[in-house]
Amino acid sequence: MRLTNSKHLGRCILGYKRCITIIIHNYPADFWALSDFIMATNTPLPPKLLDQVRNRLRLKHYSIRTEHQYVQWARRFILFHQKRHPAGMGAAEVEAFLTYLAVKERVAAATQNQALSALLFLYREVLGVNLPWLENVVRAKRPARLPVVLTRREVAAVLDHMQGTHGLMARLLYGTGMRLMECMRLRVKDVDFERSEILIRDGKGGKDRVTMLPQALSVPMQAHLQTRRRLYDDDSAKGMSGVYLPDALARKYPEAATDWGWQYVFVAGRYSVDPRSGKERRHHMDEKLLQRAMKKAVLAAAIVKPATPHTLRHSFATHLLEGGYDIRTVQELLGHADVSTTMIYTHVLNKGGRGVTSPLDSL
C-alpha cells in the first residue's frame, strides 16, 4: 500500500501495533523466541575465511606479497572443490588440487610447493587443524638448476643501454648484489656515503645485512638524492610526504613517516593507495618498470641469455668468486643463511667437468 499522506501512515502504525498485541497475547512463547532470534542475528558475524587468513598472516608479520599469494591459493583451492569449506576436506582434496596444478596447469615445482605451503598455513594457523596427514603430503621435487650469469662484457653492454634512474638501479644491483625488492625498498637513511656502505633492512627472512656502496655510484647516487629531495619538499608542501613504516613504528614514532631519512630512494611517479591502511601516499617504484627496462637493454645489447634484474645479482656473486674473494665473504654480502646456497656459484671456477681438457682439443 502506498503511503500518500499521514492518515494512511497512522493507520499502518496502528495496524502494526494491533498485530504485535495479538501475537503477544495469544503466542507469548513464540514471540519471545522470535525476539531472541532477531537479537541473535544482530550480533557481529565472524570474519570470512579469507579475511581470517589475511588477519593471521598479518599477525605473524608475513609480507604483503606472501599475503596476496596465500589468499589467492586458498581461494583457488575452495573454488576447485566447488566452494566446499576446507574444514570438511583433508589430504585427498589437497593432493587432488596439487595434482591438478601439476598435470593440467603444468605449473613449476616451486609454484606447486608454494600452493602447498599456503594450504598448510590455512589448516594449521587459521583452522587450527593439526592432523598427521599434514606432515605426509609430498612436496614436489625442485630440479637443481644453475643460475643465468652474464660475463663482464655482457654486463657492461647491458648497462650501456640503461640510463637515468633505471640505469642507476641496475648498476646498484650489479655493484652491491642486492635483490630486486631490496633495491626498491631502499630508504635514504640506509645509504652511508662516508663509510661507502648500504644497510639492507628486512631482507629475505627478515634479516639485515651490510653491503658496499660502489665508489663509481657515489656521485650519481648523491645527484639522484638531490632530485629526490626536491620531490620530497613538494610532497611536504602538499601534506603528502608520509611513507609506509614497518610493523608498529608508525605508532611508536608518529612523525617518522614524514621524515626525510625514511623516504624511499626510488619512488613512484604518482601517489597510490596502501592496500592495508587505505592511506594515499607515494610508494616505492614498481619493480616491473625496472624489469621492462632491463629486458629492452638485453635485446638492444643482442644478448640471447634470458637475463633479468636478478641476473645482475648472480653475476655479482660469480665475478667476486672469479676475482678470488672467499666464499664466506660472498655469502655474507648476499645474505644467504647457508653457504650451500652460495656454493652454486662455484660452477664458474673451472672445477669438475669444466676443468678437464676435451679430447677434441688434443687432436
Which CATH number applies to 152-348?
A: 1.10.443.10
- 138-167 burial code (b ≥16 CB/10 A, e <16): eebeeeeeeeebbeeebbebbbebbeebbb
Highest-confidence segment of 181-195, 250-264, 318-332: 181-195
209 is catalytic: no
Cross-strand pairs, 223: none
Which one is catalytic: 179, 209, 282, 319? 179
Residue 186: strand, helix, or coil: coil
336 is catalytic: yes
76 is catalytic: no
Residue that wins the pLDDT comparison between 355 and 179 = 179
Residue with cell 587450527: 128
Is the pLDDT at 247 greater than 50? The verdict is yes
Model pLDDT, residue 343: 83
**Cα R_g (the chain), whole angstroms:** 30
- Using CA atoms, how far apart are residues 209 and 198, in angstroms rounded to an integer? 9
Which one is catalytic: 75, 161, 296, 310? 310
Q: What is the pTM of this model?
A: 0.74
Which one is catalytic: 56, 171, 185, 313? 313
123 is catalytic: no
Q: Which overall architecture, per CATH, does domain 49-136 show? A: Orthogonal Bundle (1.10)
Ranges of CATH 1.10.443.10 domains, the chain:
152-348
Which one is catalytic: 204, 224, 279, 296? 204
345 is catalytic: yes
Model pLDDT, residue 156: 95
Please give the span between the terminal C-alpha atoms of the chain, in angstroms, as a whole number: 105
CA 316 from chain centre, in angstroms, equals: 24
- Using CA atoms, how far apart are residues 338 and 348, in angstroms rounded to an integer? 19
85 is catalytic: no
Determine the Cα angle at 106 with ends 92 and 345, to 5°: 110
Residue that wins the pLDDT comparison between 159 and 253 = 159
Q: What is the pLDDT of residues 59-93, one digit of tens each?
A: 888 888 899 999 999 999 999 999 999 988 888 88
Q: What is the pLDDT of residues 172-228, one digit of tens each?
A: 999 999 999 999 999 999 999 999 999 998 888 778 899 999 999 999 999 999 999
